Amino acid sequence: MIELLTPAEMGRADALAIAGGVPGIDLMRRAGLAVADACSRMAGHSGQVLVLAGPGNNGGDGFVAAKVLRQRGYRVEVLLLGDPGRLSGDAALAFSEMQAARLTAGILSQDTLDRVPGQASVVIDALFGAGLSRPIEGVAGEAIDRVNGSGVPVLAVDLPSGVNGASGEAMGPAIRASRTVTFFRLKPGHLLLPGRQLAGRVEIADIGIPASALDEVHGSEAGKTWRNDPALWGPAFRPPCLDGHKYARGHAVVVSGPALSTGAARLAAGAALRAGAGLVTVATPPSAALVNASHLTAVMVRSFRGSGGLAEMLADRRLNAIALGPGAGVGDETRALALTCLAGERAVLLDADAITSFTAEVEALAGALSRRTGARAADVVLTPHDGEFARLFGESAVGASRLARARAGAQASGAVVVLKGADTVVAAPDGRAAVNDNAPAWLATAGSGDVLSGIVTGLLAQGLDGFDAACAGVWLHGRAGALAGPALTAEDLEPALRQALAEFFSRAG
């Protein structure tokens, strides 16, 4: 279940299920039951539950849950935002079924705000879900502030109210939930920040939408979106064959910076080797050759002079993946090296200074990419963090969500874009995208990005395509960070990567 559906796609999946003969009220009853089950687990055998219900179908799920919880013996209070007479469709039906079970609703207003959260041991947030269309204001916003300030555990229905399901952005006040029950598939807003933090632990409930609906709705004009998970890229990443040769696993090159900035390239090179590249060479300017050579053992060192020298080295077609950027320095020289890397039939990763060397000149980069030929023409990966992304693509892209920005960047450049952050997004030029959620906060440390570049380059050398290598690299990097644990440094990631790979291969069988 790694597909992510936007609220609009989810609405179409609901509609397809209904058109296929599953009544909408049945979907709502199953949704509400799943919410009631989650609430029972949170509240224990007894307790008081406050249900905040909105005017749409999210509120409808809340009415079903309220009724079920009441029947289970909980004390339940329902406060409805708006006029019950204006409820319509399945929500109106669920409201009357709740009333038939002798549970009435109060109206959420200034007069009833002091009952929020009152004596409740759990608050069910059924104000807004997929239908949130503007920032929450007025009494609903005040109720959200009161709930958030109370410390009472909150169970959100589908999405924490106020969170945009497509982007994870908080549109005005937003519920801070301890748990969220969503339906059929996760939404991008459950993984993108701040939505991920506001949703708490997310559970996915099956409400009877047939899997066939997924084929029709997942991946429309906006492209497919997934949670970054081994299920996405695992099939493309096989362990070495018993009768394999190291040359079959590629030869990665990492370009070193000058004498005083060589550590980044060595971190990347070590990670590329650990990720499984058969051979790894650090390509170094002559001034840094000695310092690189004195620190490297399994990784080879070769010196080159300027972009002409690098082009000569790269004439060896066995060098099938190259990384440039970590410690490279910003300027014309790095830019020329990047164009040299791109002008050949090999996979290329550009990071850090290599990206910044194209500041506001994405057309120059895109032009070089468009001239690429051969089987690996599309295997170019850019790994910017937010600042580097803004420098390359300009401020205009800054307002959009990280998912939309990464997609726009991939489309504008023609490269796979890894927009790094706590919620790293990987996007391909054709619109495919994956959102990563396994990286611990400890991973934000000096040199961590260099290790990521190395892992991705090592995977590119083994023949993974740009999107798979980027997704796998980001996931393995996050997993290595989690295994290395608190207070990790970039040096700790390489041994932890070994453990992450061992885990992955043992699960993949």
* Binding residue numbers for K(+): 58, 125, 161
Q: Which is nearer to ligand NAX, 8 or 290 (CB)?
A: 8
**Residue 125 touches which of K ion, ligand NAX, none (CB < 5 to 8 A by kind)?**
K ion
Q: What is the DSSP string of 154-181?
A: EEEESS-TTB-TTT--B-SS----SEEE
Q: Which is nearer to ligand NAX, 36 or 410 (CB)?
A: 36
Q: What are the φ and ψ backbone dihedral angles of 505, each rounded to 5 degrees?
A: -70, -30
Least Å from the CB of residue 143 to K ion: 12
How far apart CA 101 and CA 68 sit, in angstroms, is 9
Q: What is the DSSP string of 400-428?
A: S-HHHHHHHHHHHHSSEEEEBSTT-EEE-
Q: What is the DSSP string of 250-272?
A: -EEEEE---TTS-HHHHHHHHHH
How far apart CA 115 and CA 49 sit, in angstroms, is 12
Residues 155-174 that bind ligand NAX (CB under 6 A): 157-158
Q: Which residue in 492, 423, 250, 439 sits closest to 349, CA to CA?
A: 250
- Tell me: does residue 208 bind ligand NAX (CB under 6 A): no
CB hemisphere CA count around 245 (13 angstroms): 2
**How big, in percent rounded to 5, are the helix, strand and coil portions of the chain?**
45, 15, 35
Among 56, 160, 270, 278, binds ligand NAX (CB under 6 A): 56
Among 5, 22, 28, 144, binds ligand NAX (CB under 6 A): 28
- Tell me: does residue 54 bind ligand NAX (CB under 6 A): yes
How far apart CA 54 and CA 58 sit, in angstroms, is 7
Cα–Cα separations (whole angstroms), residue 307 to 212, 249, 302, 330, 402: 52, 26, 14, 15, 34
| 318-350 core/surface letters (b: 16 or more CB in 10 A; e: else) | ebbbbbbbbbbbbeeebbbbbbbbbebebbbbb
How far apart CA 406 and CA 411 sit, in angstroms, is 9
Annotated binding site for (6S)-NADPHX: 57-61, 129-135, 158, 264, 327, 385, 450
Q: Which window, 23-31, 106-114, 288-296, 384-392, contacts ligand NAX (CB under 6 A)?
A: 23-31
CB hemisphere CA count around 416 (13 angstroms): 31
- Tell me: does residue 55 bind ligand NAX (CB under 6 A): yes
- Tell me: does residue 52 bind ligand NAX (CB under 6 A): no
Q: Which window, 43-51, 101-109, 124-132, 422-430, contacts ligand NAX (CB under 6 A)?
A: 124-132
Q: Which is nearer to ligand NAX, 17 or 443 (CB)?
A: 17
Copy the structure tokens of residue 115.
């009952």
Least Å from the CB of residue 26 to K ion: 20
Q: Which is nearer to ligand NAX, 205 or 362 (CB)?
A: 205
- Tell me: does residue 183 bind ligand NAX (CB under 6 A): yes
- Tell me: does residue 57 bind ligand NAX (CB under 6 A): yes
**Residue 54 touches which of K ion, ligand NAX, none (CB < 5 to 8 A by kind)?**
ligand NAX
- Tell me: does residue 128 bind ligand NAX (CB under 6 A): yes
- Tell me: does residue 161 bind K ion (CB under 5 A): yes
What is the per-residue binding string for K ion in 125-154, x denoting contact by CB under 5 A?
x---x-------------------------
How far apart CA 406 and CA 426 sit, in angstroms, is 7
**Residue 161 touches which of ligand NAX, K ion, none (CB < 5 to 8 A by kind)?**
K ion
- Tell me: does residue 157 bind K ion (CB under 5 A): yes
What is the per-residue binding string for K ion in 194-213, x denoting contact by CB under 5 A?
--------------------
Least Å from the CB of residue 133 to K ion: 14
Q: Which window, 133-141, 267-275, 325-333, 421-429, contacts ligand NAX (CB under 6 A)?
A: 133-141
- DSSP count for the chain of H helices, then E strands: 20, 17
**Contact residues: K ion, CB under 5 A:** 125, 129, 156-157, 161
**Contact residues: ligand NAX, CB under 6 A:** 14, 24, 27-28, 31, 54-61, 90, 128-136, 157-158, 183, 207
